[in-house]
Structure 1
């Protein structure tokens, strides 16, 4: 598979991502941030910058039970991405990470600014 090849197969990951496919699932995930922080990763499967940001994040992140990891495929679920922007008040970017606690965005970063180390400092 070349650098610009795209596949419909789910990509392997060492992290326990929870896929968000509907606005209802998104609302439920945000509601659950009263108990544990939620990290929402908005990823474009057509963008090499997004792929690099996701890979970099996954290589840096150490799985922990203090933060749930939610994955939003922007191409397949743009409505979910738009709803996340509306619900958090964070302007849409791609790729983008938004960390939510108690139903409010406490951290957001996009593109090369996505850093697992910086996210860990914020939670």
Structure 2
């Protein structure tokens, strides 16, 4: 009963996602090309925002590791030029946190804040 109320004192196993760092504008063209064969996901994260961190932690917790998609992580504070180009290239207004789903060179779905964890990513792969 106490474990249900207060959680377990046993350490949780840390889940590691197959993140690929998105650090250069030149990567975007390759991501768009790869989306013709396999779903590409771009997670834009602000490392200074508590809401962004909370959403990211939930995303990591809920993410299905064996989903057939490539997963990119964009630290938008350190790579502002890349973040700006993502919005321009894929015609999606900047928000943070934000998740973009690419298929066939275009964004087929995107969400920000709490909407990220409500997305059913399986239907896009």
User: Is 1:103 matched up with 2:123?
Assistant: no
Larger Rg belongs to: 2
The corresponding residue for 1:37 is 39
Aligned-pair RMSD on alpha carbons? 1.6
Unaligned runs of 5+ in 2: 1-13
The corresponding residue for 2:29 is 27
Instruction: List per-residue Cα deviations over 1:63-111 (Å, max 9, x = no partner).
Output: 1251100110000001111111111111110000000001010110000
Q: Please, what TM-score do these two structures have when normalized by structure 1?
A: 0.84
Shift of 1:15: 0.3
- Greater Cα shift, 26-35 or 74-83: 26-35
In structure 2, C-alpha distance between the alignment counterparts of 1:46 and 1:78, rounded to whole Å: 14
Question: Any runs of at least 4 consecutive aligned residues in structure 1 with deviations exceeding 6 A, and if so which?
Answer: none
The corresponding residue for 2:69 is 67
In structure 2, C-alpha distance between the alignment counterparts of 1:119 and 1:98, rounded to whole Å: 10
Shift of 1:52: 0.6
Kindly tell me the number of residue pairs found equivalent between the two proteins.
112
In structure 2, C-alpha distance between the alignment counterparts of 1:53 and 1:86, rounded to whole Å: 24
